[in-house]
Structure 1
Amino acid sequence: MAILLGKNINLRALEPEDLNFLFSTENNELFWEISSTQLPYSKYVLKKYLENAHQDIYEAKQYRFVISDFDDIPVGMIDLFDFNPLHKRVGIGILLLPQYQNKGYGSEALEMIIDYAFTYLDVHQIFANITSDNTKSIRLFEKHHFKKIGVKKDWIYSNPNFKDEVLYQLIKS
Protein backbone atom coordinates (compact mmCIF):
# COMPACT_ATOMS: atom_id res chain seq x y z
CA MET A 1 0.00 0.00 0.00
CA ALA A 2 1.41 3.40 -1.03
CA ILE A 3 1.28 5.81 1.89
CA LEU A 4 2.24 9.41 2.50
CA LEU A 5 2.69 9.72 6.26
CA GLY A 6 1.55 12.81 8.12
CA LYS A 7 1.44 13.86 11.77
CA ASN A 8 -2.20 12.90 12.34
CA ILE A 9 -3.28 11.33 9.06
CA ASN A 10 -2.03 9.33 6.12
CA LEU A 11 -2.74 9.71 2.44
CA ARG A 12 -2.93 6.31 0.83
CA ALA A 13 -3.98 4.64 -2.38
CA LEU A 14 -7.47 3.25 -2.79
CA GLU A 15 -7.71 -0.42 -1.82
CA PRO A 16 -10.35 -3.05 -2.65
CA GLU A 17 -11.39 -2.86 1.01
CA ASP A 18 -12.51 0.75 0.39
CA LEU A 19 -15.52 -0.38 -1.66
CA ASN A 20 -18.10 0.29 1.09
CA PHE A 21 -16.49 3.64 1.99
CA LEU A 22 -16.48 4.68 -1.66
CA PHE A 23 -20.05 3.44 -2.13
CA SER A 24 -21.39 5.43 0.84
CA THR A 25 -19.42 8.56 -0.05
CA GLU A 26 -20.12 8.63 -3.80
CA ASN A 27 -23.82 7.98 -3.18
CA ASN A 28 -24.21 10.63 -0.49
CA GLU A 29 -26.38 13.33 -2.08
CA LEU A 30 -24.71 15.97 0.11
CA PHE A 31 -21.60 15.58 -2.06
CA TRP A 32 -23.24 15.36 -5.48
CA GLU A 33 -23.07 19.09 -6.11
CA ILE A 34 -19.28 19.18 -5.95
CA SER A 35 -18.80 15.97 -7.91
CA SER A 36 -21.36 16.78 -10.63
CA THR A 37 -23.10 13.50 -9.88
CA GLN A 38 -26.78 13.07 -10.64
CA LEU A 39 -27.30 9.34 -10.19
CA PRO A 40 -26.08 6.83 -7.62
CA TYR A 41 -23.20 4.50 -8.43
CA SER A 42 -23.59 0.74 -8.18
CA LYS A 43 -21.11 -1.33 -6.22
CA TYR A 44 -20.28 -3.08 -9.48
CA VAL A 45 -19.24 0.20 -11.16
CA LEU A 46 -17.22 1.26 -8.11
CA LYS A 47 -15.55 -2.15 -7.92
CA LYS A 48 -14.45 -1.72 -11.56
CA TYR A 49 -13.19 1.77 -10.70
CA LEU A 50 -11.16 0.34 -7.81
CA GLU A 51 -9.68 -2.29 -10.12
CA ASN A 52 -8.28 0.52 -12.29
CA ALA A 53 -7.35 2.91 -9.47
CA HIS A 54 -3.75 1.70 -9.65
CA GLN A 55 -3.20 3.54 -12.93
CA ASP A 56 -0.31 5.94 -12.91
CA ILE A 57 -1.25 9.64 -12.77
CA TYR A 58 0.70 10.16 -16.01
CA GLU A 59 -1.61 7.66 -17.71
CA ALA A 60 -4.96 8.46 -16.07
CA LYS A 61 -4.29 12.21 -15.55
CA GLN A 62 -5.89 11.85 -12.11
CA TYR A 63 -5.30 10.11 -8.80
CA ARG A 64 -7.43 9.71 -5.70
CA PHE A 65 -5.92 9.41 -2.24
CA VAL A 66 -7.85 8.21 0.79
CA ILE A 67 -7.31 10.38 3.85
CA SER A 68 -7.13 7.99 6.80
CA ASP A 69 -6.36 8.24 10.47
CA PHE A 70 -3.64 6.09 12.03
CA ASP A 71 -6.12 3.26 12.60
CA ASP A 72 -6.62 3.28 8.80
CA ILE A 73 -10.17 4.58 9.18
CA PRO A 74 -11.06 6.61 6.05
CA VAL A 75 -12.01 10.19 6.95
CA GLY A 76 -12.14 11.60 3.42
CA MET A 77 -10.51 11.76 0.02
CA ILE A 78 -8.24 14.14 -1.79
CA ASP A 79 -8.07 14.05 -5.58
CA LEU A 80 -5.59 15.27 -8.12
CA PHE A 81 -7.23 15.74 -11.52
CA ASP A 82 -6.64 17.29 -14.94
CA PHE A 83 -2.94 16.59 -14.49
CA ASN A 84 -1.03 18.17 -17.35
CA PRO A 85 2.71 17.43 -17.17
CA LEU A 86 3.43 19.52 -20.28
CA HIS A 87 1.98 22.67 -18.73
CA LYS A 88 3.00 21.57 -15.20
CA ARG A 89 -0.39 21.95 -13.54
CA VAL A 90 -2.90 19.85 -11.67
CA GLY A 91 -6.32 20.39 -10.10
CA ILE A 92 -7.11 19.45 -6.54
CA GLY A 93 -10.31 18.57 -4.74
CA ILE A 94 -10.86 17.52 -1.15
CA LEU A 95 -13.76 15.89 0.62
CA LEU A 96 -13.94 15.22 4.35
CA LEU A 97 -16.80 13.36 5.94
CA PRO A 98 -18.78 15.79 8.13
CA GLN A 99 -17.84 14.10 11.41
CA TYR A 100 -14.12 14.62 10.65
CA GLN A 101 -14.31 18.28 9.66
CA ASN A 102 -12.81 21.02 11.85
CA LYS A 103 -10.20 18.64 13.29
CA GLY A 104 -7.25 19.80 11.16
CA TYR A 105 -7.37 16.76 8.86
CA GLY A 106 -8.21 18.80 5.76
CA SER A 107 -5.43 21.28 6.39
CA GLU A 108 -2.87 18.55 6.95
CA ALA A 109 -4.02 16.62 3.86
CA LEU A 110 -3.86 19.75 1.72
CA GLU A 111 -0.39 20.59 3.01
CA MET A 112 0.80 17.05 2.24
CA ILE A 113 -0.66 16.98 -1.26
CA ILE A 114 0.76 20.42 -2.11
CA ASP A 115 4.22 19.19 -1.14
CA TYR A 116 3.68 15.96 -3.10
CA ALA A 117 2.52 17.78 -6.25
CA PHE A 118 5.34 20.32 -6.24
CA THR A 119 8.08 17.84 -5.25
CA TYR A 120 7.17 14.59 -7.00
CA LEU A 121 4.97 15.69 -9.91
CA ASP A 122 7.10 18.78 -10.52
CA VAL A 123 4.08 20.96 -11.24
CA HIS A 124 4.33 24.72 -11.38
CA GLN A 125 0.78 25.35 -10.24
CA ILE A 126 -2.18 23.74 -8.49
CA PHE A 127 -5.74 24.92 -9.01
CA ALA A 128 -9.02 24.40 -7.20
CA ASN A 129 -12.63 25.13 -8.14
CA ILE A 130 -14.80 26.03 -5.14
CA THR A 131 -18.43 27.16 -5.04
CA SER A 132 -18.67 30.68 -3.67
CA ASP A 133 -20.84 29.57 -0.74
CA ASN A 134 -18.36 26.92 0.45
CA THR A 135 -16.72 29.14 3.05
CA LYS A 136 -14.96 26.25 4.83
CA SER A 137 -13.10 25.26 1.66
CA ILE A 138 -12.35 28.86 0.75
CA ARG A 139 -10.80 29.44 4.21
CA LEU A 140 -8.83 26.19 3.93
CA PHE A 141 -7.35 26.97 0.53
CA GLU A 142 -6.64 30.62 1.38
CA LYS A 143 -4.89 29.46 4.58
CA HIS A 144 -2.55 27.50 2.30
CA HIS A 145 -1.86 30.58 0.15
CA PHE A 146 -4.13 29.80 -2.79
CA LYS A 147 -5.17 33.01 -4.53
CA LYS A 148 -8.58 33.76 -5.99
CA ILE A 149 -8.03 34.46 -9.66
CA GLY A 150 -11.50 34.40 -11.13
CA VAL A 151 -15.20 33.69 -10.77
CA LYS A 152 -17.29 31.58 -13.12
CA LYS A 153 -20.77 33.09 -12.87
CA ASP A 154 -23.78 30.79 -12.49
CA TRP A 155 -21.47 27.83 -13.11
CA ILE A 156 -23.06 25.20 -10.85
CA TYR A 157 -26.76 24.42 -11.01
CA SER A 158 -28.00 23.57 -7.55
CA ASN A 159 -31.73 23.07 -7.82
CA PRO A 160 -33.41 25.56 -8.06
CA ASN A 161 -30.54 28.08 -8.20
CA PHE A 162 -27.21 28.67 -9.85
CA LYS A 163 -24.00 29.17 -7.89
CA ASP A 164 -20.79 30.91 -8.80
CA GLU A 165 -17.62 28.87 -8.82
CA VAL A 166 -14.38 30.52 -7.73
CA LEU A 167 -11.07 29.50 -9.30
CA TYR A 168 -8.08 29.41 -6.96
CA GLN A 169 -4.42 28.94 -7.89
CA LEU A 170 -1.25 28.22 -6.01
CA ILE A 171 1.82 28.94 -8.11
CA LYS A 172 5.17 27.56 -7.04
CA SER A 173 7.49 30.35 -6.08
Structure 2
Amino acid sequence: MVHLRALEPDDLDFLYTLENDRDIWGVSDTLAPLSRQALREYLTHATTDIYVVRQLRQVVTTEISGVAVGVVDLFEYDALHQRAGVGITILASERRHGYARQALELLKEYARDVLRLHQIYATVGATNLASMRLFRAAGFRRVGTRRAWLRTASGWQDAVEWQYLLSHQTSA
Protein backbone atom coordinates (compact mmCIF):
# COMPACT_ATOMS: atom_id res chain seq x y z
CA MET A 1 0.00 0.00 0.00
CA VAL A 2 1.17 3.54 -0.75
CA HIS A 3 0.41 7.06 0.42
CA LEU A 4 0.69 10.43 -1.29
CA ARG A 5 2.22 13.35 0.55
CA ALA A 6 3.48 16.85 -0.15
CA LEU A 7 7.08 17.49 -1.11
CA GLU A 8 9.42 18.25 1.79
CA PRO A 9 12.87 19.89 1.85
CA ASP A 10 14.25 16.47 2.86
CA ASP A 11 13.21 15.12 -0.56
CA LEU A 12 16.18 16.81 -2.24
CA ASP A 13 18.32 13.66 -2.65
CA PHE A 14 15.33 11.59 -3.74
CA LEU A 15 14.35 14.16 -6.40
CA TYR A 16 17.96 14.46 -7.54
CA THR A 17 18.05 10.70 -8.18
CA LEU A 18 14.64 10.63 -9.84
CA GLU A 19 15.04 13.69 -12.06
CA ASN A 20 18.52 12.71 -13.24
CA ASP A 21 17.57 9.20 -14.37
CA ARG A 22 18.34 9.42 -18.09
CA ASP A 23 16.03 6.48 -18.80
CA ILE A 24 12.97 8.63 -18.06
CA TRP A 25 14.06 11.83 -19.77
CA GLY A 26 12.24 10.83 -22.93
CA VAL A 27 8.88 10.76 -21.15
CA SER A 28 9.49 13.79 -18.94
CA ASP A 29 10.64 16.24 -21.64
CA THR A 30 14.01 16.57 -19.92
CA LEU A 31 17.11 17.38 -21.95
CA ALA A 32 19.78 17.95 -19.30
CA PRO A 33 20.59 16.96 -15.72
CA LEU A 34 19.21 19.09 -12.90
CA SER A 35 21.51 20.45 -10.23
CA ARG A 36 20.88 20.12 -6.52
CA GLN A 37 20.65 23.92 -6.38
CA ALA A 38 17.91 24.00 -9.03
CA LEU A 39 15.99 21.32 -7.16
CA ARG A 40 16.51 23.13 -3.85
CA GLU A 41 14.94 26.25 -5.38
CA TYR A 42 12.11 24.16 -6.83
CA LEU A 43 11.39 22.70 -3.39
CA THR A 44 11.08 26.16 -1.85
CA HIS A 45 8.20 26.92 -4.24
CA ALA A 46 6.71 23.44 -4.65
CA THR A 47 3.99 24.00 -2.08
CA THR A 48 2.55 26.97 -3.97
CA ASP A 49 -1.18 26.58 -4.54
CA ILE A 50 -2.27 24.58 -7.63
CA TYR A 51 -4.60 27.45 -8.51
CA VAL A 52 -1.57 29.75 -8.88
CA VAL A 53 1.07 27.53 -10.51
CA ARG A 54 -1.36 25.19 -12.33
CA GLN A 55 0.51 22.08 -11.17
CA LEU A 56 0.86 19.85 -8.14
CA ARG A 57 3.45 17.20 -7.34
CA GLN A 58 3.00 14.61 -4.60
CA VAL A 59 5.47 12.03 -3.37
CA VAL A 60 4.51 8.36 -3.47
CA THR A 61 5.64 6.61 -0.28
CA THR A 62 5.31 3.07 0.96
CA GLU A 63 2.84 2.62 3.79
CA ILE A 64 5.05 0.59 6.10
CA SER A 65 8.42 2.32 5.82
CA GLY A 66 7.37 5.71 4.47
CA VAL A 67 10.18 5.53 1.91
CA ALA A 68 9.71 7.67 -1.20
CA VAL A 69 9.37 5.49 -4.31
CA GLY A 70 8.05 7.95 -6.87
CA VAL A 71 6.01 11.02 -7.67
CA VAL A 72 2.65 11.80 -9.23
CA ASP A 73 1.97 15.10 -10.95
CA LEU A 74 -1.08 17.05 -11.92
CA PHE A 75 -0.15 19.67 -14.52
CA GLU A 76 -1.81 22.08 -16.93
CA TYR A 77 -4.55 22.48 -14.33
CA ASP A 78 -7.53 24.20 -15.95
CA ALA A 79 -10.00 25.66 -13.42
CA LEU A 80 -12.61 26.60 -16.03
CA HIS A 81 -12.83 23.15 -17.60
CA GLN A 82 -11.96 21.31 -14.36
CA ARG A 83 -9.23 19.11 -15.82
CA ALA A 84 -5.52 18.40 -15.45
CA GLY A 85 -2.86 16.25 -17.03
CA VAL A 86 -1.36 13.35 -15.09
CA GLY A 87 2.25 12.22 -14.88
CA ILE A 88 3.69 9.44 -12.77
CA THR A 89 7.26 8.31 -12.21
CA ILE A 90 8.43 5.46 -10.01
CA LEU A 91 12.11 4.85 -9.23
CA ALA A 92 13.52 2.16 -11.50
CA SER A 93 14.39 -0.02 -8.50
CA GLU A 94 10.79 0.16 -7.22
CA ARG A 95 8.86 -0.63 -10.39
CA ARG A 96 6.65 -3.70 -10.83
CA HIS A 97 5.40 -3.67 -7.23
CA GLY A 98 2.02 -2.09 -8.00
CA TYR A 99 3.02 1.30 -6.57
CA ALA A 100 2.09 3.24 -9.72
CA ARG A 101 -1.38 1.71 -9.90
CA GLN A 102 -2.07 2.39 -6.21
CA ALA A 103 -0.76 5.94 -6.49
CA LEU A 104 -2.91 6.59 -9.54
CA GLU A 105 -6.01 5.42 -7.67
CA LEU A 106 -5.20 7.80 -4.80
CA LEU A 107 -4.58 10.62 -7.25
CA LYS A 108 -7.94 10.00 -8.92
CA GLU A 109 -9.68 10.24 -5.53
CA TYR A 110 -7.79 13.44 -4.67
CA ALA A 111 -8.56 15.02 -8.05
CA ARG A 112 -12.26 14.17 -7.74
CA ASP A 113 -12.92 14.71 -4.03
CA VAL A 114 -10.52 17.53 -3.10
CA LEU A 115 -9.86 19.45 -6.31
CA ARG A 116 -13.33 18.65 -7.70
CA LEU A 117 -11.97 18.01 -11.18
CA HIS A 118 -14.20 16.65 -13.92
CA GLN A 119 -11.46 14.78 -15.74
CA ILE A 120 -7.77 13.91 -15.89
CA TYR A 121 -5.74 12.88 -18.92
CA ALA A 122 -2.37 11.49 -19.89
CA THR A 123 -0.18 11.46 -22.98
CA VAL A 124 1.88 8.28 -23.36
CA GLY A 125 4.50 7.41 -25.95
CA ALA A 126 3.18 4.60 -28.16
CA THR A 127 6.14 2.37 -27.29
CA ASN A 128 5.74 2.83 -23.52
CA LEU A 129 3.77 -0.38 -23.05
CA ALA A 130 4.06 -0.40 -19.25
CA SER A 131 2.40 3.03 -19.00
CA MET A 132 -0.27 2.03 -21.51
CA ARG A 133 -1.11 -1.02 -19.38
CA LEU A 134 -1.14 1.15 -16.24
CA PHE A 135 -3.61 3.70 -17.57
CA ARG A 136 -5.83 1.03 -19.12
CA ALA A 137 -5.89 -0.94 -15.83
CA ALA A 138 -6.73 2.28 -13.94
CA GLY A 139 -9.85 2.76 -16.05
CA PHE A 140 -8.54 5.43 -18.42
CA ARG A 141 -9.98 5.32 -21.91
CA ARG A 142 -7.79 5.56 -24.98
CA VAL A 143 -9.21 8.52 -26.89
CA GLY A 144 -6.78 9.10 -29.71
CA THR A 145 -3.32 9.04 -31.20
CA ARG A 146 -1.17 11.99 -32.14
CA ARG A 147 1.04 11.00 -35.05
CA ALA A 148 4.80 11.67 -34.85
CA TRP A 149 4.20 13.74 -31.71
CA LEU A 150 7.26 12.88 -29.60
CA ARG A 151 10.83 13.34 -30.73
CA THR A 152 13.10 10.56 -29.50
CA ALA A 153 16.72 9.62 -30.05
CA SER A 154 15.58 7.08 -32.64
CA GLY A 155 13.14 9.40 -34.46
CA TRP A 156 9.53 10.51 -34.15
CA GLN A 157 7.05 8.51 -32.10
CA ASP A 158 3.28 8.54 -31.87
CA ALA A 159 1.64 9.61 -28.61
CA VAL A 160 -1.48 7.93 -27.26
CA GLU A 161 -4.00 10.09 -25.41
CA TRP A 162 -5.80 8.67 -22.37
CA GLN A 163 -8.73 10.22 -20.51
CA TYR A 164 -10.52 9.45 -17.25
CA LEU A 165 -13.84 11.09 -16.39
CA LEU A 166 -14.02 11.65 -12.66
CA SER A 167 -17.65 12.76 -12.88
CA HIS A 168 -19.96 11.52 -15.56
CA GLN A 169 -22.12 14.62 -15.77
CA THR A 170 -21.88 16.17 -19.19
CA SER A 171 -23.99 18.83 -20.82
CA ALA A 172 -26.33 17.81 -23.61
Q: Can you give the 5+ residue segments of structure 1 that lack an aligned partner in the other structure?
A: 1-7
- Counterpart position of 1:151: 145
Aligned partner (choices 17, 23, 33) of residue 40 of structure 1: 33
* Deviations 1:36-89 (CA, angstroms, capped at 9, x unpaired): 111111111110000001101111110101101132211111000011111110
**Post-superposition offset of 1:160:** 2.5
- Counterpart position of 1:89: 83
Aligned AA (2:128) = N
Please state if 1:98 is matched with 2:92: yes
Aligned AA (1:149) = V
Q: Which 4+ stretches in 1 moved above 3 angstroms?
A: none
Please state if 1:59 is matched with 2:79: no
Aligned mates of 1:15, 1:72 — CA distance in 2? 13
- Counterpart position of 2:11: 18
User: Pairwise mapping of residues 68-147 of structure 1 onto structure 2 (< 5 A)?
Assistant: 68-70=61-63, 71-147=65-141
Identity of aligned residues (%): 37
Q: Can you give the 5+ residue segments of structure 2 that lack an aligned partner in the other structure?
A: none
Aligned AA (1:154) = A
SS, match of residue 76 in structure 2: strand
- Counterpart position of 1:9: 2
Aligned mates of 1:98, 1:133 — CA distance in 2? 17
Aligned mates of 1:89, 1:151 — CA distance in 2? 19
SS, match of residue 40 in structure 1: coil
SS, match of residue 135 in structure 2: helix
Aligned mates of 2:11, 2:54 — CA distance in 1? 21
**Post-superposition offset of 1:101:** 1.5
Aligned mates of 1:90, 1:121 — CA distance in 2? 10
Q: What RMSD in Å do the two structures reach over aligned CA positions?
A: 0.9
SS, match of residue 154 in structure 1: strand
* Deviations 1:78-130 (CA, angstroms, capped at 9, x unpaired): 00001111111011011111222121111110001001101111111110010
Aligned AA (1:24) = T
Aligned AA (2:26) = E
State the TM-score, normalizing by the size of structure 1. Answer: 0.93
State the TM-score, normalizing by the size of structure 2. Answer: 0.93
Aligned mates of 1:106, 1:61 — CA distance in 2? 22
